[in-house]
A and B are shown apart, each in its own frame.
Chain A
Amino acid sequence: MMSDIAIRVENLSKQYHIGKRQESYRTLRDTLADAFTAPFRRAGKLLRGQATGAAELDAAIWALKDVCFDVERGEVVGIIGRNGAGKSTLLKILSCITEPTEGYAEIHGRVGSLLEVGTGFHQELTGRENVYLNGAILGMKRGEIDRKFDEIVTFAEVEKFIDTPVKHYSSGMRLRLGFAVAAHLEPEILLIDEVLAVGDAEFQKKCLNKMQDVGQQGRTVLFVSHSMPAITRLCPRTILLDAGRILEDGPSHKVVGAYLNSGLGTTAKREWPDLATAPGDDVARLRAVRVRTKDGQTTEAVDIREPVGLEMEFEVLQPNHMLFPYYNVYNQEGIKVFSAIDQNPDWKGRPRSTGQYVSTAWIPGNLLSEGMLFVGAALRTPNRKIRHFHAREAVAFQVIDSMDGNSARGDFSGRMSGAVRPLLEWDTQYTPNKEE
């Protein structure tokens, strides 16, 4: 029976052409001749319907290659992978925005895709007008929008401004309105690309709840996200893509775990190979920052129970300066979680010689909260207001709670807020009532 399948993907591949650098011309005559003939050659290609840009197109990359999977009706499937893994390309093909190069996909049901919040909003139009325009663009019928209009406006919390042009909205209001329209789509299959990465924390929560409702209504959802907590919370099953291929496909906690251990992440490490342009001054310059595990691996995501090391490599260019490195750590809501200053007595208050230094700060396990953390690395001279470098958001990493029951959340599976989530020692005194 086909009826249980919502999406079937067979050997789906997508090739993109990327411009190749042109060979250098031998003679001026060739150059001129080519300048005259090239437009005609391109025009010829154009008429034959070949995809060409202005550049010669020889090099090609496979954004997706031989991707196969089935999604059953009512399943909520997460798709993860680093940037360029092919996640967005997959959603674009499934929503008919772009054609595959090979293979095919079969979709059983009406598709709504949400690749961006507020697509097609026009600055000059009012909120009300944009709800209709955006709804129509996403495939809603006019009557459907009429019916849901009040609900959408209430959800977006923009009642007062609904007849104000959107250009006067704050970016938050615009996002809320855009998401509100999309959240009221009622297709059988919903494709969502990283839309929760926007908006304030409060609204993100609201969206997550709405999404959870969507999943529970028996709708099929494909959900692309960089947020491992969102993936593990919303999707029982996850597909891991890398370089256009499926690397893993299975229960989310396993796939997310495999992803975290594979070192596919790239944001966890940053290097400045060129000393002259690296952050810093004549005294010292930053060479690299990375997030590492105990055994020295660079990691994009860490288990909430494990310690994690923030490592910076810097070069001291002038001797006899007293220097201290420090980190600023922010969460995804933009709240500073903490600053950490090097207090090691071996180096504290001592002038440093020129050369390479690698300083690592260890954050203990069971301290951080789930979510994305952004690390800024800096170097200062004490007592004088000189900051030699400060690389904001130099690296980022994800803190994951695999919910095995022995983290600070224990067996509690609901939403836990808070900038930190320490595993504290608890002590309870019990005094029985005297009567008993």
Chain B
Amino acid sequence: MEIENLVKHQPIADMLSAQEADDVPVTRIEPSTGWVSLKLRELWQYRELLYFLTWRDVKVRYKQTVLGAAWAIIQPFFTMAVFSVFFGQLAQIPSDDIPYPIFSYTALVPWSFFAQGLRQSSDSLVGGAHLIKKVYFPRLAMPIASVFSGVVDFTLAFIVLLGMMLFYGIVPTLNALWLPLFLLLALVTSLGSGLWLSAMNVQFRDVHYTVPFLIQFWMFVTPIAYPSSLIENRLARTLYGINPMAGVVEGFRWALLGKGTAPGPITIASSLAALALLVSGAFYFRRMEKTFADVV
């Protein structure tokens, strides 16, 4: 069984048609040119490695820290506190009639997931250079594992969010069932941009210095501290959804808090943008992949 399985899904490269009675997988290694296939089936074969890489990232992340996994909560929570004081209280930024702290925290939870995924995945290849040079496996596993590992942090921060909803007496509606899709949208956005940046980072370490700036910039253009309803024009608001994180954040608010901007058009725009980012990122990544071991 085991052997048959391996033969069927030859893990390393394209299989030749195995005409021979031999049950031996044949790998052909030759130069590739231009755009290449994503080899998603091969990636599926390596799902256990993906699992172990994710598990490693989770295990290692807060090792030798005093506060440990509390960091997953501290970051969005304190950002929320600062936002509430300065934007909510002092600047009197509107929050769609939702108490400002939970208004911003609901946005910060998926945002932190996205930002951390992007940060980790863009450094994943360079950080794992020793692996890339010494072992073969689908390189896509590295940025993917980096993004996946953030789900644990997200869960912790989300539990705090539930506590806050309880505190403010907000009862989620059936809309909450849509939440996993908005999380998926955040994941796709994070991974899509992570794929682009990690592949570029191999050759241009500039990326490493660009990412924190990019994340900061992206945060300002995402309706975290303010509602997207500030944009009055409907068309403009839909276009705003081209920033997929705008769709994620508004989606989270709508699904959990029952208010906020109706997510229809903005969600569609965000989903399309995120998908485009993911697909282009994956192809770009695969195209550059052959140079990784030589350049990194």
B169 interface contact, C-beta 8 A: no
Q: Which residues of B contact A142 (CB under 8 A)?
A: 48
Are B295's CB and A51's CB within 8 A? yes
A52 interface contact, C-beta 8 A: yes
Q: Which residue of A lies closest to B21 (CB)?
A: A3
Cross-interface CB contact of A129 among B51, B59, B287, B295, cutoff 8 Å: B59
| From A54, A113, A120, A188, residue with most partner B Cβ within 10 Å | A120
Are B32's CB and A99's CB within 8 A? yes
Report the minimum CB–CB distance from A356 to chain B (whole Å).
45
Are A104's CB and B28's CB within 8 A? yes
| A92 CA to B133 CA, complexed, in Å | 8
| A138 CA to B135 CA, complexed, in Å | 7
Binds A, one of B5-13, B107-115, B208-216, B270-278: B5-13
A206 interface contact, C-beta 8 A: no
| A315 CA to B125 CA, complexed, in Å | 51
Q: Which residue of A lies closest to B50 (CB)?
A: A136
Q: Which residues of A contact B51 (CB under 8 A)?
A: 136
A85 interface contact, C-beta 8 A: no
Report the minimum CB–CB distance from A84 to chain B (whole Å).
15
Q: Which residue of B lies closest to A109 (CB)?
A: B24
Are A2's CB and B20's CB within 8 A? yes
| A122 CA to B53 CA, complexed, in Å | 11
Q: Which residues of B contact A16 (CB under 8 A)?
A: 294
| A191 CA to B209 CA, complexed, in Å | 38
A93 interface contact, C-beta 8 A: yes
Q: Which residue of B lies closest to A17 (CB)?
A: B294
Q: Which residues of B contact A107 (CB under 8 A)?
A: 12, 26-29
| A220 CA to B295 CA, complexed, in Å | 30
Cross-interface CB contact of B136 among A42, A95, A100, cutoff 8 Å: A95
B residues contacting the other copy or chain, number (CB 8 A) = 47
Q: Which residues of A contact B24 (CB under 8 A)?
A: 3, 108-109, 188
A102 interface contact, C-beta 8 A: yes
Are B291's CB and A136's CB within 8 A? no
A residues contacting the other copy or chain, number (CB 8 A) = 49
Q: Which residue of B lies closest to A105 (CB)?
A: B29
| A116 CA to B26 CA, complexed, in Å | 25
Are A139's CB and B137's CB within 8 A? yes
| A101 CA to B290 CA, complexed, in Å | 11
| A370 CA to B199 CA, complexed, in Å | 48
Are A120's CB and B130's CB within 8 A? yes
A261 interface contact, C-beta 8 A: no
Q: Given contacts A51-B295, A125-B59, is CB(A108)–CB(B30) below 8 Å?
A: no
Are A51's CB and B294's CB within 8 A? yes
Q: Which residues of A contact B136 (CB under 8 A)?
A: 95-97, 113
| A3 CA to B23 CA, complexed, in Å | 10
A141 interface contact, C-beta 8 A: yes
Q: Given contacts A113-B136, A115-B135, is CB(A124)–CB(B63) below 8 Å?
A: yes
A132 interface contact, C-beta 8 A: yes
A381 interface contact, C-beta 8 A: no
Are A124's CB and B137's CB within 8 A? no
A227 interface contact, C-beta 8 A: no
Are A97's CB and B293's CB within 8 A? yes
Report the minimum CB–CB distance from B86 to chain A (whole Å).
37
| A132 CA to B49 CA, complexed, in Å | 10
Cross-interface CB contact of B11 among A51, A102, A105, A139, cutoff 8 Å: A139
Report the minimum CB–CB distance from B286 to chain A (whole Å).
10
B288 interface contact, C-beta 8 A: yes
Q: Which residue of B lies closest to A4 (CB)?
A: B22
Are B49's CB and A136's CB within 8 A? yes
Q: Which residue of B lies closest to A138 (CB)?
A: B135
Q: Which residues of B contact A124 (CB under 8 A)?
A: 59-60, 63-64
| A180 CA to B75 CA, complexed, in Å | 41
Q: Which residues of B contact A102 (CB under 8 A)?
A: 31
Report the minimum CB–CB distance from A108 to chain B (whole Å).
5
Q: Which residues of B contact A136 (CB under 8 A)?
A: 48-49, 51-53
Q: Which residues of A contact B171 (CB under 8 A)?
A: none
| A191 CA to B294 CA, complexed, in Å | 19
Report the minimum CB–CB distance from A279 to chain B (whole Å).
34
Question: Which A340-370 residues have a C-beta within 8 angstroms of B?
Answer: none
B25 interface contact, C-beta 8 A: yes
Are A119's CB and B131's CB within 8 A? yes
Are B60's CB and A53's CB within 8 A? no
Question: Which A78-120 residues have a C-beta within 8 angstroms of B?
Answer: 92-111, 113, 115-116, 119-120
| A410 CA to B31 CA, complexed, in Å | 50
B203 interface contact, C-beta 8 A: yes
| A120 CA to B130 CA, complexed, in Å | 7
Starting from the known contacts A46-B200, A104-B29, 12 additional A-B residue pairs (CB-CB under 8 Å) come to A49-B287, A54-B203, A95-B135, A96-B136, A97-B133, A105-B29, A109-B24, A124-B60, A125-B60, A136-B53, A139-B49, A141-B2
Closest 4 A/B residue pairs (Cβ): A104-B30, A51-B291, A136-B52, A96-B136
A-B contact pairs, 5 of them (CB 8 A): A51-B294, A99-B29, A105-B29, A106-B26, A115-B134
